[in-house]
């Protein structure tokens, strides 16, 4: 059996699992949204920020589709608008009016951009029916739930590589579809979009598609600020490959080339977040006198995101560790326990690899997590993106990421 034939057989063998996972992902979204509608009809919402919707401050950022004097289905439009609470209010406001307030810059622009484009391209005919703001909300719900379904499918494909067991990969992906934080993935939040881009980027990363992985992970940093941490995969892999090339193969120039390539990929992943910070700086700080400047404008470097998190939401190092947050810690304890257990288990299994980040501890083939992606295999492409020594360390990092993504 040739390599291509085996690959086609493997893919066709996973098709029933893919259909099963797709059913679970879609059914979980339908069930969740049904429960949300049911409970909102029975109970008054805790957050009432959906009613705070003043006109856009700038005429240039106003709706491209002004609301008609009366819409055909005002109750439907009102129901959609009233469902937008918490962070959803900010994302919809940015999609409609742009970045008007300083605290708005805490919400990165990829989701609002996608919402605005979808509302203008696909749902524009619905504006006279339910109103423009309701159309924005509908676009946001569709984006989040669609992204979640594709994120579940990419998680399955990624898990097959990492776990090397299609049955376990399927179970992990089904559990993801039923995870306790599902409400965030079906609301107008950036979690679903970020999960899709992160899982997709890591999938391409482990398949050796470096350019595709860089693009996907860079976009994840354009959806959520913690997306920049995905650059760590490129950084670690570059260090491992450079170490092997320099110490084992005595090729200093090639090792330097590997490091430069890794640094370039990391910079590309950081670039969207950095550009957005510069955008905020020029909008808020540029052209003002020192007395008129906000405190963060005078800092070096002037990081808008850190200031907003600290000033408006009290976010900072160890600030969250308060007695009043104990219920939240209890709520997160299952997933935190799983992530910690995975780290401890890996540390005990390969202490030398853990301490050296997989650089100084050679692994025999039997010590690798499995053989599906054994990097010494004769079927592995000659231009493989990974070295044999780095495989299990990167897989362990990705497992922990998958456990603690939210």
Return the pLDDT at 50. Answer: 61
pLDDT tens-digit profile of 291-303? 788 888 888 888 8
d(CA 86, CA 45): 11
Question: How far from 317 is each of 321, 322, 325, CA to CA, in Å?
Answer: 9, 12, 15
Torsion of CA 292, 293, 295, 299, to 10 degrees: -140
Helices (H), 224-325: 231-243, 252-284, 304-313
Angle at which helices 87-97 and 110-121 cross, to 10°: 60
| 3-class DSSP state of 85 | coil
Are residues 400 and 342 in contact, defined by beta-carbon separation less than 8 angstroms?
yes
Question: How far from 187 is each of 90, 134, 145, 159, 309, CA to CA, in Å?
Answer: 12, 14, 8, 25, 21
The position carrying tokens 């170490």 is 243
Return the pLDDT at 274. Answer: 92
DSSP 346-397: HHHH-HHHHHHTTSS----GGGSS-STT-TT-TTS-TT-SS-GGGHHHHHHH
Question: How far from 21 is each of 17, 152, 162, CA to CA, in Å?
Answer: 6, 8, 18
Burial profile 376-386: b = 16 or more Cβ within 10 angstroms, e = fewer: eeeeeeeeebb
d(CA 359, CA 345): 19
Are residues 204 and 216 in contact, defined by beta-carbon separation less than 8 angstroms?
yes
d(CA 393, CA 353): 7
Token pair for 94: 């940015």
d(CA 344, CA 336): 12
> For the chain, which residues score pLDDT lower than 70?
1-14, 45-52, 59-69, 358-406
Return the pLDDT at 387. Answer: 43
| 3-class DSSP state of 299 | coil
Give the start-to-end residue ranges of the domains of the chain: 19-222, 224-314, 331-406
Return the pLDDT at 148. Answer: 95
């Amino acid at each position: 059996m040739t390599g291509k034939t085996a690959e086609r057989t493997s893919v066709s063998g996973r098709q029933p699992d893919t259909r099963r996972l797709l059913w679970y992902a879609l059914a979980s979204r339908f069930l969740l949204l049904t429960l949300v509608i049911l409970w909102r009809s029975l109970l008054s919402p805790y957050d009432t920020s959906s009613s705070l919707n003043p006109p856009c401050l700038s005429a240039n950022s106003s709706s491209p589709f002004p609301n008609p004097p009366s819409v055909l289905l005002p109750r439907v439009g009102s129901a959609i608008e009233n469902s937008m609470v918490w962070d959803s209010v900010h994302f919809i406001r940015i999609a409609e009016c742009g970045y008007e307030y300083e605290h708005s810059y805490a919400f990165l622009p990829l989701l609002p951009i996608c919402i605005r484009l979808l509302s203008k391209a696909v749902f524009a005919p619905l504006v006279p029916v339910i109103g423009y703001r309701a159309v924005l909300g509908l676009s946001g719900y569709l984006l989040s739930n669609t992204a979640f379904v594709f994120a579940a499918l990419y998680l399955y494909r990624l898990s097959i590589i990492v776990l090397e067991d299609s049955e376990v990969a399927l179970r992990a992906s089904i559990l993801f579809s039923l995870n306790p934080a599902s409400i965030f993935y079906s609301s107008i939040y950036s979690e679903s979009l970020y999960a899709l881009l992160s899982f997709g980027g890591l999938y391409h990363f482990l398949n050796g598609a470096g350019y595709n992985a860089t693009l996907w992970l860079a976009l994840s940093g354009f959806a959520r600020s913690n997306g920049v941490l995905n650059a760590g995969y490129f950084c670690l892999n570059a260090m491992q490959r450079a170490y092997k090339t320099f110490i084992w193969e005595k090729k200093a120039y090639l090792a330097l080339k590997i490091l430069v390539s890794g640094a370039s990929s990391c910079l590309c992943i950081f670039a969207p977040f950095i550009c957005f910070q510069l955008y905020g700086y020029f909008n808020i700080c540029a052209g003002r006198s020192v007395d008129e400047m906000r405190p963060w404008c005078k800092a070096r470097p002037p990081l808008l995101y850190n200031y907003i998190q600290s000033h408006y939401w009290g976010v900072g190092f160890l600030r969250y560790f308060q007695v009043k947050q104990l219920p939240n810690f209890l709520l997160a304890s299952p997933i935190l326990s799983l992530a910690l257990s995975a780290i401890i288990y890996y540390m005990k299994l390969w202490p030398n690899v853990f301490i050296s980040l997989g650089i100084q501890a050679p692994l025999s083939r039997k010590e690798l997590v499995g053989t599906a992606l054994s990097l010494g295999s004769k079927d592995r492409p000659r231009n493989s993106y990974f070295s044999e020594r780095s495989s299990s360390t990167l897989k362990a990092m990705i497992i922990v990421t998958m456990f603690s993504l939210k």
